[in-house]
Structure 1
């Protein structure tokens, strides 16, 4: 449950805008009356100062409140809404004054009024959170504020704890290239595959906890060591998504945002197809599950120090040495001739290779390395359309 139950904590008392002007008027009146030997002005200034003092004393008795804050959901896609809900309970013996709830998100302040509460009563207020852009938002405790009847002095209280909301990149439906890598029970296997399947990989020594029904008695008799059948989940085509996070391929921030959405779309497509996948960036970061990959993509940024596709051979060194079938997809901007040569080198090592290019304009030919499924688009939506048309034809 995304709720934090807490009593409000005093964080400060300050003058409102009206109170500031009242304080300035009090000082000016006293000084002017003393300079002009005009006691009436001094009296008015002292009256203004006294009003401020009464307002401050009014706030000495702090209302006793219990606050429950909920934020739903904690993970949203771009364009979706996140909502906050604050339940305020008056646990004191006297009526509370009207309150102003201030929620701060990325420097943006949302103010929600809470009516006066009788002793023992409660009120729930909901409000939208301004989390529209991709990113990781740390939301501090809300601020509950109330003032004196003349609204000269205001006292604030922090309530609740910090919350984190991830705004994930918007995704599009993409078709995957899954050639090779059979998924039937008797498909190819590797020793690193998960245990518990039905595909026979080989024999190994018996270990405590192994199913005794898998003991291979013939091998046990020949070797003098208890041997058991090593059965695993058959090899499946793994999806490897490489995202170019260097600055050069993306002349504008919006083009990079579209590339982030394409990378996220490939991750979601693999997850929905039930295929294992891994996301790598050219700067070296790796994620291997849908939730962590999308959360990572919610904060990824261009890097001027990133070598981009120039370091792809080193980035893929451990993958191309594996015996497992891997389908490679690279997301970048417009690929140059050097990148095309790299694709020619790595193409024989993978089941399939896809190249997703985000381009500023359709003028000029896009890179189409031999044996590589290449598509391009000026936006993530246009790319998704072009890619699906290419894969499904």
Structure 2
């Protein structure tokens, strides 16, 4: 006969007490760590006016001095004492260089504030002594894009101004930020740096190079006033046919002459017309472009088409993976094209990109896609299926240095652009 299973024994009082003590200790440890972290944060905030002026080099010198003193105590080497004392003295000697208060009024200006890639742009840094006493010489630093400009401001009498001019590199399309201007007080070794911010950043828009297209270029807009669709409606301007009157039809659509002849009320029907609506999209996936120059060519094509469509007063939505570009004015559009960056892995395919970025838009009458030379032609055909039959699809495939040509893949017109200089002629030859 098999033994009956034993019922589990209830936990003893000792175990219950141990668990309670463990939970209490864990809660106490969490509370203690939170309190220590809060105290450490308050100490850092309290000490930040002092510790904040110590540069990375200064911290390295302080650490090396501490290691030298510890090594001297452990090894008994007097040389390490001298080394530690020398490093510590260098740090202490740097302290007086941080004293003093400056009263400056600083202005940073860029001229012009918008340029085309390759054009020259200049900046001006004006420092005025706004105090009542002469100022001592100081050093001013001004970040410009990825670089850093350094200027020495001499001693200035009260109310005097010092001006510095500098060139801004504009070889590539970008938004270049100049500023903020900061003054730096410290020693020549850079152990201590006391920084004061004097100005706000200013932006320089480096626009892409664009091609001038003809107004109402063929292929971009089929009908500025409205295009006729196959949808039948009771109110529009394109007459389609007559039908028998039904209760509720507006009397203004009654065709009285036909009604008198037939003895039956007849009303007009119309074909629906729609204002032209463009969707202009650039796929900025890095893997679709053979080089950075080819990517820049794609941005220039997008900007050239967008500027001309805006000038033609046609409604347009212009999009990339990350941006929805402003279309109020050509200048606003060009400012936004300066911010376009290459994307990585945003969408799996060109079709996915087009579907995701246009699903909240009104159905366009013309969809224009811009992509790189590494996109297979089948991808353009797949992207075409996102739109309805009333949408004409054009694809601009940029391939730097290639022979420019026009081909048709299924219902999509594919325009290969090898050079921006060819764009105007290619657009003029497109016939939807």
Counterpart-to-counterpart distance in 1, 2:356 and 2:78:
84
The correspondence of residues 1-393 of structure 1 with structure 2, limited to 5 A, is 13=53, 56-57=95-96, 59-130=98-169, 132-146=171-185, 155-175=194-214, 176-177=217-218, 178-183=220-225, 236-281=275-320, 285=324, 287-289=326-328, 290-297=330-337, 298-311=339-352, 312=354, 321=363, 326-334=365-373, 335-340=376-381, 342-343=383-384, 348-350=389-391, 352-359=392-399, 362=402, 367-369=407-409, 372-379=412-419, 381-384=420-423, 387-388=426-427, 390-391=429-430
Q: Which has the higher helix share?
A: 2
Whether the aligned pair in 1 keeps the contact of 2:130 and 2:158 (CA below 8 Å) is: yes
Superposed CA deviations along residues 100-137 of structure 1, whole A, max 9, x for unmatched, are 32111343111233332112212232323345433344
Distance 1:305 1:49, change over 3 A: closer
Whether the aligned pair in 2 keeps the contact of 1:246 and 1:308 (CA below 8 Å) is: no
Distance 1:353 1:327, change over 3 A: same
Cα deviation, residue 308, structure 1: 3.9
Whether the aligned pair in 1 keeps the contact of 2:297 and 2:400 (CA below 8 Å) is: no
Residue 230 (structure 1) aligns with: none
Provide the TM-score with structure 2 as the length reference. 0.58
Distance 1:356 1:11, change over 3 A: farther
Cα deviation, residue 358, structure 1: 1.0
Aligned to 2:148, the other structure's residue is in SS state: strand
Whether the aligned pair in 2 keeps the contact of 1:68 and 1:86 (CA below 8 Å) is: yes
Distance 1:66 1:320, change over 3 A: closer
Cα deviation, residue 306, structure 1: 1.4
Cα deviation, residue 139, structure 1: 4.3
RMSD: 5.1
Provide the TM-score with structure 1 as the length reference. 0.63
Cα deviation, residue 71, structure 1: 3.6
Query: Can you give the 5+ residue segments of structure 1 that lack an aligned partner in the other structure?
Result: 1-8, 191-199, 203-217, 220-233
Number of corresponding residues: 330
Distance 1:118 1:59, change over 3 A: farther
